Structure 1
Amino acid sequence: MPVPTAEVFERLRSFAAVDTAQGHATRAIIEVFTGETLGSVPVGTAADVATAVAKARAAQAEWAARTPKQRAEVLDRYRALVVESREFLMDVIQAETGKARWAAQEEVMSLMFAARYFSRVAPRLLAPHSVPGAFPVVNRASVRAVPKGVVGVIAPWNYPMALSVGDSIPALLAGNAVVVKPDSQTPYSSLVNAELFARAGLPTGLFAVVPGPGTVVGTAIVENCDYLMFTGSSATGRTLAEQCGRRLIGYSAELGGKNPMIVTRGADLNKAAKAAVRACFSNAGQLCISIERLYVERAVADQFTEKFAAAVKAAKLGAAYDFSKDIGSLISEAQLETVTKHVADAVSKGAKVLVGGNARPDLGPLFFEPTVLTEVTDAMECGRNETFGPLVSIYPVDSVQEAVTRANDTEYGLNASVWAGSKAEGERIAEQLHAGTVNVDEGYAPAWGTTGAPMGGMGISGVGRRHGPDGLLKFTEPQSIVVTRLLNLDPPAFLPQSTWQPLLMAAARGIRFLPGR
C-alpha cells in the first residue's frame, strides 16, 4: 500500500489557518519510515493565531445558537466520513509517525468512538435541567451548560489524530470553536481532519489548525483561548498550568506515565505474555498509557519472563503500510537518542538485556528493537523516569501486596494493568492502584476505548478528564438561573421584619422534609 502522493499533502496544506501571503517560512514534514520528505507546511505566527481565534469567535456565536442535536448531526456526518476514509487516514498517521498499522487503526477507531458517544449523549447532557429552588414554589431554578467560547488544543506527535481531533469533538459538540496547534512533526493528521470537518458541514473558521512551534503558536493559543486542552509531558503541563492560572482560564491535561502491569501466580501466563507485547510496544512504546514496569509474583516470574521474552522476539519489527508488522519506528532522532541512552545507562549499572537493546538502521533510520530488561534499579535512568520508547523492565515480587506497593511508588498515576487468577481478584487489586484507569486482563486499549468512562491521570499524570460526561461538560460553564415568583425576600408591606424573619426561618427549617432536599 503506497504512501499518499505529494499532491495529496499539498491539498492538505491548504487547510492550515495561516496567511501564506505574508511570506511565511515552511517546515518539511518527513516520512518516518524512510526519512524522505512528504511535503511542507507553513509555520504559523502569533498573528496567525490571533486571526484564527477572531474568526473562530465569529463562527462560534452562530454554532452555539444551534441545538446540541443540530450540532450532533454535523459530527455524525463527520464520523461517517472517518469510516469512509479510514484507510487513507491510517496512511497519513503512519507516514507522519512511523507506527505500525494496527496502532494507526486504534487512532481512527478512537475518532469513531468519540464522535459516536458524544453525539449520542450531548443532547441530554447539555440540556437545561431543573433543581430545587431555595424556597419551593417561590423559586424556580434551572442550570444551563454554556460553551466556554474558543478552546485551544495543544496536541502531541505520538497519537496526532486521537489527541487533537479526539479532544476537539466534545469541545465542538459543547458549542465551542477550536484552534489546534499540532506537533510540528505531525501537522497533516490534524489538517486531514480539518478537510473532513469541512466536508461534513462544520462552519468555516470553527475548527482551525495553526502549525508552528510551541514557543510561538502554543504560547499565543494560551494567551487567546478561553480554555486549554493539552496532552504532553508533565514538565510542559506544569508550565502551561501556570500560564492558564495567570489568565484564570480553565485547563485540562493528560501528561506522562510510568505505567505498571501486575501479574499474579494465578494468571493465564500465555495470554498475559502475548497481550503485554501490545501493552508495552504499541507505537514503539511512545504512548502515555503503555506499560513500562512489569511486577510478576516470584512463583511464576521465570515462566512469565520466558513466555514474554519469546513473544517479544517473535514480534515483527519493520515498515509497512499494511498489517504485516507488529512494531514500527520511533519518530525522531531525539526519541532514538533517549532510548539508546536509557538502555546504555541501565546496562552500565548492572541491568541485563533479555531481548533487543539495539538500534536497527537496516530497517529504517529510527528503528530500535523492542527491549526487555531485568535487574533494573532506581539508580538507573529508566528505573523511575518515563522512557517513552520500546523499553520495559520486569521485577519479580514476593507477593501481590508488594506488587501493589511498588506499582504505586511513583509520582505518576495514569494507567495500570492487572492479570490475576480471576476477574474478582483482578478488580480487588485494581481498586488498590493509584491510577486514573486500570485494565483487568488487558493492557490499555479497553479503558481508552470505553468512551463513556472518564480517562485521565492522578498525581503528575494529569488534570481533569477526557471521555465520559466530564469530557464534554468540562468545555462548558454551568450557569444557574433562579426565577423568583409570587413574593421576594422583602417582607410584605403589612408585616414588620420582626414577624417576617421568624417566618422565613420556619420555612427554611421545614424545607428539609421535602423530597430532593
Structure 2
Amino acid sequence: MTESQATQEKTGTNPTAAAPEGARTAADVVTPELIAQLTRGVVGSGRTANHTPFTGEKLADLPESTPEDVATAFERARAAQEVWAKTPVRKRAAVLLRFHDLVLARQAEVLDLIQLETGKARLHAHEEVQAVAVASRHYGRKAPAYLKPRRHTGAVPTLTKVTELRQPRGVVGQIAPWNYPLELSVGDALPAFVAGNAVVMKPDTETCLTALWARDLLVEAGLPAEVFQVVLGEGPVVGPELVKHADYVSFTGSTRTGREVAQGAAARLVGVSLELGGKNAMLVLKDADVEKAAAGAVRACFSSAGQLCISIERLYVHESIADAFLERFAARTKAMRLGTSLAYGADMGSLVGERQLTTVTRHVEEAVAKGATLVAGGVARPDIGPYFFEPTILDGVEAPMSVCTEETFGPVVSIYRFTDEDEVIAQANATPYGLNSSVWTKDARRGHEVAARLRTGTVNINEGYAPAYGSVQSPMGGMKQSGLGRRHGSEGILKYTEAQTVAHQRVMPMAPSFGMDDAAYAKFMTTSLSLMKKLRLK
C-alpha cells in the first residue's frame, strides 16, 4: 500500500468516483481518423505528441512547426485576412452564431477531448462549453454595434464632420494556455475574427486537440479555413516567432512569460493583451452565510483542480465564524470524489502534469514542515492517476512559506483569520497580483463597498469567480502584475481594431478665409471657442 493510499484509508477522505459500466476510453475518442481530420489545420513539418494526464499515456502524434512554418502560416493568414475584412460585419457575426449552435449540439465530443487533455472532471470541462457559447452569442449579436462607424462633434460644429471607424489590426498572434484549452483558445479568438482579423494561434501542444476541434467547427460554421492558422511546438521556439510576425499579440499564461511577450511586442511597436497569474483572495465577512460560503469555497478553490487563473488560493475568514466555516469547508472538501471517467460524477480531476504536481507537493510539504496545519488533503493519489493530488486546506500559513505568496496553481488553499475589516482588505491587496477576488456577506451594500476597495480586475460577491467571468458584456482582466488589457465587452473586441478618425471639413477651411487676415481669424476662433463653451458643447 502506498503512503497516499494509507492516508486515504485512514482519513476516509476524497473517495474515487466510479466509472460507469462501458465507459469510453482515450482510444475510443482519439481515433486515427479524428487526428487526421483535426491536424489538417496545423502548419508543421516536424513531429511531436501529446499525452493524457489521466494515465500519462500518449494521445496523438502531431505536426510540429518550425520558425519557417510560422512564417508560412502568417503569409497564408495575411492573404486570407484581406478578403475576410471586406466581408460585411453581420456576415462575420453570423459565423459566430452558427458556431454557438454547433458547440452546444456537439458538446459531448469536445468534453471528452478537454477531459483527456487536461484531466478535468467533466463538470469543470462543461464550464468551458458554457463560456464559449456565451462569448459566441454575445459577439455574434453585439459585434455590429461595437464596430459600427460613430459620429463625433468636429472641431467646428456643422463645418467639421467627424466619423470614427474601426479597422481590423490584420493578423493576430495568439498564444493560448493548457488549462482552459477551449475557452482560452477559440474563446479569445472569436472577437478577433468578427472584427475582421485573421488569427495564427499557438495552443499548448498537450491540449491542442481541443483547440483544433474548435477550429474545425468554426470552419464548418462558415469561417474561411485560411483565416484561422494553427502552429504547434515548444513555447521558447514557436512563441517568439509568432510575436515576430503578428500585428497584435494575445497571450494568456504566466507573469514571467508575459513579460517576455510584452518585450517582444514592444520592440516591434505592436499592441498586446496579457492575462497573467493571480494569488486570489476570498473574504468571508462576519455576517456571511457559513454554509453557502463553505460550498462556494469548494467551487472557488478546487474547480479544474485549482488550475485556473481566477481560482481562490487565499481564504480570509472572520474570527467569529472561522471554526464553524472551517468545519463545514473541510467536511465538503474531504467528501469530494476524484476520478478519471469521461462522464459526470467526479468532483475533481487531475493536475495536468509532473511540473504542476511538483509545485503543489513542494508548497504543501514546505508549509507543513514550517508549522502549518493540514486540515484536509495534502497527499498525492497515484492510485487514481499519476498526477492526482487531493484537494488541500492549510491552516496557520505564514510568510516566508512559498504557498503564502507564490501562485500554486493547484488544489491548495490557505486559511487566514481576521477581526478588522480594514486590515483584511489591506492583506488581500498585499500581493503583486490583482486578477480576481471574492467577498461573502448577507449585506449587499457592504459587499459592494468592500469590493470597490479590492485591487483586482474582477470581484465576485457571494460566489468565487463564475458570475464576473460569465458576464461577458463587462470587461475581465487583471490589475498590477496580473496583466494588461481586457477580454469581454467592448474592450474585448475593440482591442483587436485600430481606431481611425475621418474628418471632413466643409464650407471653410481651418485657416484664414473670406478675406480674413491672421489676426481676424484668431479673433474669430477665440469668439467661437468661447461660444462653444457657453453652449456646453463637448
**Pairing 1:462–2:483 present:** yes
Give the TM-score normalised by the residue count of structure 1: 0.97
Given that 2:30 and 2:60 are in contact with CA atoms closer than 8 Å, whether structure 1 keeps it comes out as no
Number of residue-to-residue matches in the alignment: 513
Given that 1:12 and 1:188 are in contact with CA atoms closer than 8 Å, whether structure 2 keeps it comes out as no
1:166 alignment counterpart: 187
1:341 alignment counterpart: 362
* Cα deviations by residue, 1:408-434 (Å, 9 ceiling, x for unpaired): 111111000111132222212111111
Given that 1:13 and 1:41 are in contact with CA atoms closer than 8 Å, whether structure 2 keeps it comes out as no
**Residues 12, 98 of structure 1: CA spacing in aligned structure 2 closer, same or farther, 3 A cutoff?**
farther
What are the within-5 Å matches in structure 2 for residues 408-423 of structure 1? 408-423=429-444
Aligned amino acid, residue 466 of structure 1: R
CA–CA separation in structure 1 for the residues paired with 2:30 and 2:509: 70
SS of residue paired to 1:500: helix
**Pairing 1:110–2:131 present:** yes
* Cα deviations by residue, 1:34-54 (Å, 9 ceiling, x for unpaired): 222211111111111111111
1:17 alignment partner, one of 29, 42, 45: 42
Alpha-carbon shift at residue 184 of structure 1 (Å): 1.9
**Pairing 1:424–2:445 present:** yes
CA–CA separation in structure 1 for the residues paired with 2:348 and 2:535: 61
2:520 alignment partner, one of 476, 488, 499: 499
Deviating more after overlay: 500-509 vs 90-99 = 500-509
**Pairing 1:218–2:243 present:** no
* Cα deviations by residue, 1:107-162 (Å, 9 ceiling, x for unpaired): 01111011100111110110001000101121100100110100111011000111
1:207 alignment partner, one of 220, 228, 239: 228
CA–CA separation in structure 2 for the residues paired with 1:83 and 1:516: 49
Alpha-carbon shift at residue 244 of structure 1 (Å): 0.8
2:161 alignment partner, one of 140, 149, 159: 140
Alpha-carbon shift at residue 323 of structure 1 (Å): 1.2
**Pairing 1:45–2:70 present:** no
**Residues 19, 36 of structure 1: CA spacing in aligned structure 2 closer, same or farther, 3 A cutoff?**
closer
2:172 alignment counterpart: 151
CA–CA separation in structure 2 for the residues paired with 1:33 and 1:189: 16
**Residues 354, 142 of structure 1: CA spacing in aligned structure 2 closer, same or farther, 3 A cutoff?**
same
Aligned amino acid, residue 15 of structure 1: R
Given that 2:457 and 2:476 are in contact with CA atoms closer than 8 Å, whether structure 1 keeps it comes out as yes
Given that 1:145 and 1:477 are in contact with CA atoms closer than 8 Å, whether structure 2 keeps it comes out as yes
Alpha-carbon shift at residue 192 of structure 1 (Å): 0.5
**Pairing 1:83–2:108 present:** no
CA–CA separation in structure 1 for the residues paired with 2:63 and 2:36: 13
CA–CA separation in structure 2 for the residues paired with 1:250 and 1:212: 23
SS of residue paired to 1:322: coil
SS of residue paired to 2:205: coil
**Pairing 1:72–2:97 present:** no
SS of residue paired to 1:196: helix
Alpha-carbon shift at residue 403 of structure 1 (Å): 1.8
What are the within-5 Å matches in structure 2 for residues 238-249 of structure 1? 238-249=259-270
Alpha-carbon shift at residue 19 of structure 1 (Å): 4.3
What value does the CA root-mean-square deviation take over the aligned residues? Answer: 1.2
1:262 alignment partner, one of 283, 295, 318: 283
Alpha-carbon shift at residue 494 of structure 1 (Å): 2.8
1:437 alignment counterpart: 458
Give the TM-score normalised by the residue count of structure 2: 0.93
CA–CA separation in structure 1 for the residues paired with 2:136 and 2:519: 59
1:308 alignment partner, one of 313, 321, 329: 329
1:276 alignment partner, one of 297, 306, 324: 297
Aligned amino acid, residue 371 of structure 1: T
SS of residue paired to 2:173: strand
Alpha-carbon shift at residue 13 of structure 1 (Å): 4.0
Alpha-carbon shift at residue 8 of structure 1 (Å): 4.5
Alpha-carbon shift at residue 7 of structure 1 (Å): 2.5
**Pairing 1:188–2:213 present:** no
Alpha-carbon shift at residue 204 of structure 1 (Å): 2.4
CA–CA separation in structure 1 for the residues paired with 2:203 and 2:369: 37
Given that 1:152 and 1:228 are in contact with CA atoms closer than 8 Å, whether structure 2 keeps it comes out as yes
* Cα deviations by residue, 1:241-287 (Å, 9 ceiling, x for unpaired): 11111111000011000000001121111111011111101111110
1:330 alignment counterpart: 351
1:32 alignment partner, one of 48, 53, 61: 53
Q: Percent identity?
A: 47
Aligned amino acid, residue 100 of structure 2: R
2:388 alignment counterpart: 367
CA–CA separation in structure 2 for the residues paired with 1:117 and 1:130: 24
Given that 1:152 and 1:225 are in contact with CA atoms closer than 8 Å, whether structure 2 keeps it comes out as yes
SS of residue paired to 2:409: coil
CA–CA separation in structure 2 for the residues paired with 1:259 and 1:19: 38
Alpha-carbon shift at residue 484 of structure 1 (Å): 0.7
2:252 alignment counterpart: 231
Alpha-carbon shift at residue 497 of structure 1 (Å): 2.2
CA–CA separation in structure 2 for the residues paired with 1:16 and 1:45: 15
CA–CA separation in structure 1 for the residues paired with 2:519 and 2:360: 77
2:340 alignment counterpart: 319
Given that 1:9 and 1:38 are in contact with CA atoms closer than 8 Å, whether structure 2 keeps it comes out as no
Aligned amino acid, residue 75 of structure 2: A
Aligned amino acid, residue 78 of structure 2: R
Given that 1:15 and 1:191 are in contact with CA atoms closer than 8 Å, whether structure 2 keeps it comes out as no
Given that 2:43 and 2:229 are in contact with CA atoms closer than 8 Å, whether structure 1 keeps it comes out as no
Alpha-carbon shift at residue 14 of structure 1 (Å): 2.5
SS of residue paired to 1:350: coil
SS of residue paired to 1:392: strand
Q: Which runs of no fewer than 5 residues in structure 1 stay unpaired?
A: none
Q: Which runs of no fewer than 5 residues in structure 2 stay unpaired?
A: 1-22
Given that 1:259 and 1:415 are in contact with CA atoms closer than 8 Å, whether structure 2 keeps it comes out as yes
1:123 alignment counterpart: 144
Deviating more after overlay: 102-111 vs 484-493 = 484-493
SS of residue paired to 2:368: helix
**Pairing 1:357–2:382 present:** no
SS of residue paired to 1:185: helix
SS of residue paired to 2:381: coil
* Cα deviations by residue, 1:38-94 (Å, 9 ceiling, x for unpaired): 111111111111111111111111111122111101111111111111111111100
2:84 alignment counterpart: 63
Aligned amino acid, residue 83 of structure 2: E
1:178 alignment counterpart: 199
Given that 1:56 and 1:150 are in contact with CA atoms closer than 8 Å, whether structure 2 keeps it comes out as yes
1:92 alignment partner, one of 108, 113, 116: 113
Alpha-carbon shift at residue 480 of structure 1 (Å): 0.3
CA–CA separation in structure 2 for the residues paired with 1:459 and 1:171: 25
Given that 1:265 and 1:421 are in contact with CA atoms closer than 8 Å, whether structure 2 keeps it comes out as no
CA–CA separation in structure 1 for the residues paired with 2:536 and 2:100: 42
